Structure 1
Amino acid sequence: MTLKTEQAFQPIIIQSGQNAYGMARSFYEAYGVRSLVLEPSRKKRNIQTFILGGSQAIATKNSRIVDFQQVDYLDDPNYFVHALTGVAKQYKNKKLLLFVCDCYYVELVIKNKQALENYFILPYIDESLMNQIQTKENFYKKCDLYNLKYPRTMVLTNKNYETTAISLAYPIIIKASNSAEYKNCSFLGKQKIFLVHNEEDQKRIVKSIFSSTYNDHLILQEYIPGDDTTIRVLYVYVGKDKKVKLMCLGNTLIEDPSPHHIGNSLAVVTDYDKQLMDKIRFFLEDIGYTGYANFDMKLDVRDGEYKLFEINLRTGTSSYYVTASGHNLMKYVVDDYVFGENLELTYVQAEHLWSLIPKKVLFKCIVNKPLKAEAKRLIKQGKYTDALYFKEDMNIKRWSMLKAYNLYLKIKFKKYYK
């Protein structure tokens, strides 16, 4: 692709990991435009900055499809708007599209939406709706209203956790209801999600979490049996007219096994389920949603129902699989907000395999034999995309770095994958 030096818009992405690279790659493929990727400057040097970032992630390093910039106090809620307006003033006569890569920054953007809309196009919901669905606890209340299934759940607070009897049979899952707040807390043995097999471990983990700076509620859930291939991810784009325009269901093949990133899909093959898509589409349109959303869920083989885990008010780590399937995820927001095009509803049915991990690791770890055979077939047919190896974005530095990263992934899977 020949780089187009002038565009009517400029994508700006907060954080520089795999999600950011997937978005930037989508923009480059559709329009030849380089995305600006932001991270908070390390000058602040508090625990929040070290958790959220401050240096450029491997996914976007040595890349010619992004520009990278560190911004002072970008991660500070008190200076967030000021930090972003400083970035916006670097551009003249361009429409600036702002995207974020995790729940913490989603919350900051939405809470400051009125001020930021003077500078950016913001494909995000308003704060009133965010408060109804952002935490898992509130999302499950909505699920009850719309007959959307989720695992059997208990809610613990820092006031009742010591006296509440656990009615769920072990093993159970322990996770934060508020992902944005949980990401900023720190304690020994912290994991994104805990799989717990007995009461002793449950009490120890819950006490550790509530002894940290985390002040919201905890979710305890029944464990839905099944390996990684029973996980589904659903990406959705809802237009500014609050009508769903794109839905793409993915069947996870492998999830990240490491404690801090468990639950992130590292290999996905596209899937299709019209009944599920129809139910989620009705839900989103009925609550007045707009922008990107992704749902995590698991197929419960005991009853054949999808059990929803959460809704994310943004794109996720594996979002590029949608673009790879032939439906450019970022083109939808540009066509909608920048060019004002009339977008029709699309349920993706194309077959495609997207993977962040080396093929040898992928095939060694896939448990489901039919899905392993399907993945091999898609690779043979050329319906395969590597998350980071993009031929139009390759140089010796990036190639060498990605080779080293693949070695790291092999070591990580050897250490954590069971």
Structure 2
Amino acid sequence: MKPFTPILLGSDINVYGMARSFHEAYGIKVQAWGASTLAPTRYSNIVDIEVHPGFTEDPAFIEVMREKIKEYQDHPEPVILISCGDGYSELLAKHKAELEKAFIVPYINYDLLEKLISKEGFYEVCEEYDLPYPKTHIITMKDYRDGSYENVPFPFPVALKPEDPVSWLDVQFEGRKKAFVIKDFAEFKDIVGKIYTNGYKEDLILQDFIPGDDSNMRVLNAYVDKNHKVKMMCLGHPLLEDPDPIAIGNYMVIAPDYDEQLYQTVQAFLEKIHYTGMANFDIKYDRRDGIYKFFEINLRQGRSSFYVTLNGYNLAKWYIDDYVEDSLKDRATVYGNKDRAGHMLWLGVPRKLFEEYAVPSPAKDEAMELLKEGKYGTTVFYDKDRNFKRWLLMKHMYHNYFKDYQTYFKVNKEQYFSQNK
């Protein structure tokens, strides 16, 4: 094996999942550069966090990276940068030409990124390449001011989310959520009013609400090599999501899944747009027409994507086989999870919460069988990275989810599962 140096960007659970993937595959401790140290990577023996205040955006990001270019431009082995967040993916694409003086930057060009990272832009690309997505209506600040936003083209409940998640971070008001499911017109007017009178200036995405509980969701991770060929796809079946308003929609339990037609659809799309790197799709099955609808593409592995490594398709190896070993070129595409014998259930919460809150379904029954067989795992509890401080912090982090589900599940999730049947 050729020597290499991976650098992860961030310090959250996504970073820990990638660090663990590298440790499992190669037995190495990795570096991560971020703006702070978050709980999932604290007290770890497999990842070192180097903190740079303000690193999540320019000018701090590129100022730090210019110093890193000087430090690494004569490095004896390839150094590969791996984003673990949307903001870092955007910054890597934006500065790709400059960063490539010292680093491998396995990301798409900035023009394509600008289209895909915007929800409006992504849906335009979906339209061009026949990728199904929910019926969508754009609301602008101008629409709010002239009152035309009140012409809602879909029956309630409807889904509403900010087009620009970055500026959304600075918007605060009572009832603020990462995304909204709105039950009637009065609530719709109230929420849109609060959004535009509390500092948000960008567009809003209004969508036809696809009915059904969390078990109708799918998540798909794909790796596309430097020649724009899909080399791996791994489908996951989320069975439970986070109900906390600031994290609503984050997957908390994922079972492995297989769908040949969905794999073919995604492979054709990624190769047609000449994608490169890891991609993560959020998808929901619409039982009204029997079609999977694509909500968004994340231009990196997802925060819960350790389910891919857990099921035998180590996330780290794709980058290294592609850019260091150059061994993917003639390798056949891997379509993950076809053999149930290798299935592993990924848990991001204590199993008791899954058992209590996941809606009864055949998929839940299968997941319960995996639990009984001991075929399950987590991202953060790793036998080869154990010390008392870390174990205590991770236990505390998991324990906090009990309060979150007791407080938020009924109001933010359960009430919508039976609507719009």
TM-score, normalized by length of structure 2? 0.90
* Cα deviation 1:151-173 (Å, max 9, x = unaligned): 11110111123323111111111
Letter in 2 for 1:39: G
| Match status 1:138 vs 2:130 | no
User: 1:213 Cα deviation (Å)?
Assistant: 4.3
- Quote the sequence identity (%): 40
Whether 2:50 is the aligned partner of 1:69: answer yes
> How far off its partner does 1:237 sit?
0.5
**What amino acid maps onto 1:387 in structure 2?**
T
Pick one of 78, 91, 104 that aligns with 1:121.
104
Q: Which of 186, 200, 206 is the equivalent residue of 2:186?
A: 200
What 5-or-longer segments of structure 1 have no aligned partner? 1-5, 41-53
Question: For the residues of structure 1 that align with 2:219 and 2:54, how far apart are their CA atoms?
Answer: 33
Partner of 1:259: 245
Distance in structure 1 (CA, Å) of the matches to 2:274 and 2:361? 41
Q: Within 2, Cα distance between the matches of 1:301 and 1:288?
A: 31
Counterpart of 2:24?
29
- C-alpha distance in structure 1 between counterparts of 2:9 and 2:376, whole Å: 28
Asked if the contact 1:323–1:329 (Cα under 8 Å) also holds between the matched residues in 2, the reply is yes
**Equivalent-residue separation in structure 1 for 2:69 and 2:30 (angstroms):** 13
Deviations 1:200-237 (A, max 9, x none): 22222223323344433210011111111111000010
1:178-327 alignment runs, 5 A limit? 178-327=164-313
Which residue matches 2:333?
Answer: 345
**1: distance between equivalents of 2:223 and 2:304?**
15
The one-letter amino acid paired with 1:383 is K
Give deviations 1:88-124, integer Å, cap 9, x for gaps: 5555323222122222222222111111121221111
User: In the alignment, is the contact (CA less than 8 A) between 1:19 and 1:101 conserved in 2?
Assistant: yes
- Alpha-carbon deviation of 1:192? 0.7
One-letter amino acid of the structure 1 residue matched with residue 148 of structure 2: T
C-alpha distance in 2 between matches for 1:10 and 1:339:
13
Partner Cα separation in structure 2 for residue 89 and residue 24 of structure 1: 25
Q: Do structure 1's residue 373 and structure 2's residue 358 form an aligned pair?
A: no
Output the CA distance in 2 between the equivalents of 1:9 and 1:271: 33
SS at match of 2:122: helix
**1:81–1:116 CA contact under 8 A, matched in 2:** no
Q: How many residues align?
A: 399
User: What amino acid is the match of 2:246?
Assistant: H
8 Å Cα contact 1:19/1:319 also seen in 2: yes
CA apart distance, 1:388: 1.2
Q: Distance in 2 between matches of 1:37 and 1:104?
A: 15
CA separation of 1:306/1:204 partners in 2, compared to 1, >3 Å: closer, same or farther? Answer: same
**Paired residue for 1:111?**
94
Secondary structure (helix, strand or coil) at the match of 1:407 reads: helix
Contact 2:11 2:40 (8 Å CA) reproduced: yes
The Cα shift of 1:184 comes to: 4.6
Aligned position for 1:407 = 399
Q: Deviations over 1:288-347 (max 9, x none)?
A: 111111110111122221111111111111111001101111100111011111333100
CA separation in 2, counterparts of 1:37 and 1:97?
12
One-letter amino acid of the structure 2 residue matched with residue 410 of structure 1: F
Q: Tell me the alpha carbon deviations over residues 220-263 of structure 1, each in whole angstroms, 9 at most, x when there is no partner.
A: 01111111111100001000000000001100011111011111
Q: 2:375: which partner in 1?
A: 383
C-alpha change, 1:288 and 1:35, in structure 2 (3 Å) is same
Query: Is the Cα contact below 8 Å between 2:2 and 2:325 reproduced in 1?
Result: no
- Separation of aligned partners in 2, 1:132 and 1:369: 37
1:397 alignment partner, SS class: helix
Matched position secondary structure for 2:143 = coil
Pairing 1:156–2:139 present = yes
Q: Is the Cα–Cα contact under 8 Å of residues 233 and 335 in structure 2 kept in the other structure?
A: yes
The secondary structure found in structure 2 opposite 1:208 is: helix
Aligned AA for 1:208? K
Structure 2 unaligned segments of length 5 or more: list them: 411-421
| Residue aligned with 1:268, SS | strand
